[in-house]
Amino acid sequence: MANGSFFYVMSFMEGDNLEDQIFLNKKTFNEKESLLFLAHLLELVDDLHEKGIYHQDLRIPNILFKNKKPFLIDFGLSKQSVSMDPASRSLHNKQHILEMKQQDYYDLGEILLYLLYTTYSSKNKKALPWTEELSLEKETVHLLKRLLGITEPYSNTRDMSADLHAAIKANENVH
């Protein structure tokens, strides 16, 4: 910390980002693979949130692969909560923290949707909403709708994790 500002020091890491993997290497993710990848990202995001850090810029170029494991990079827009002690947080601060969490969750929803589209080939010239274009298990649709704030957004990773594991299980039974 210097002059009241926090700084993150990170080691340089070689690897390909998810954007390059998808566009240059033509990597695709089926529904189950997309959900399993999201589970890895959720662990990383949950760990950050436990430390009071909110990334605020989760997107495919900011996910790096090294030894087939995802790592989050580019913390330039990240925020840290003022107080780590839940008892001392004001109502305003709690609302602000919830909003930062939900931004990260929304970003996870966009990443999941992006991964799901890697195997989609348009047969229709007319653009349709993802709910009509993609054939997804109902558990995956439920998860996505909550991540994207279409239905009640998640307020914690526990509920999201439960829905994510239900979607993974539904995909194991079908595919």
46 has catalytic annotation:
no
Query: What end-to-end distance do the CA atoms of the chain give, in Å?
Result: 50
Report how far residue 169's alpha carbon sits from residue 14's, in angstroms, rounded to the nearest whole number.
34
User: 78 near 57, Cβ under 8 Å?
Assistant: yes
Q: Which of 16, 46, 57, 74 is flagged as catalytic?
A: 57
Alpha carbon 99 to chain centroid, angstroms: 15
Q: Positive or negative, the Cα torsion across 100, 86, 39, 20?
A: positive
Catalytic residue positions, numbered: 57
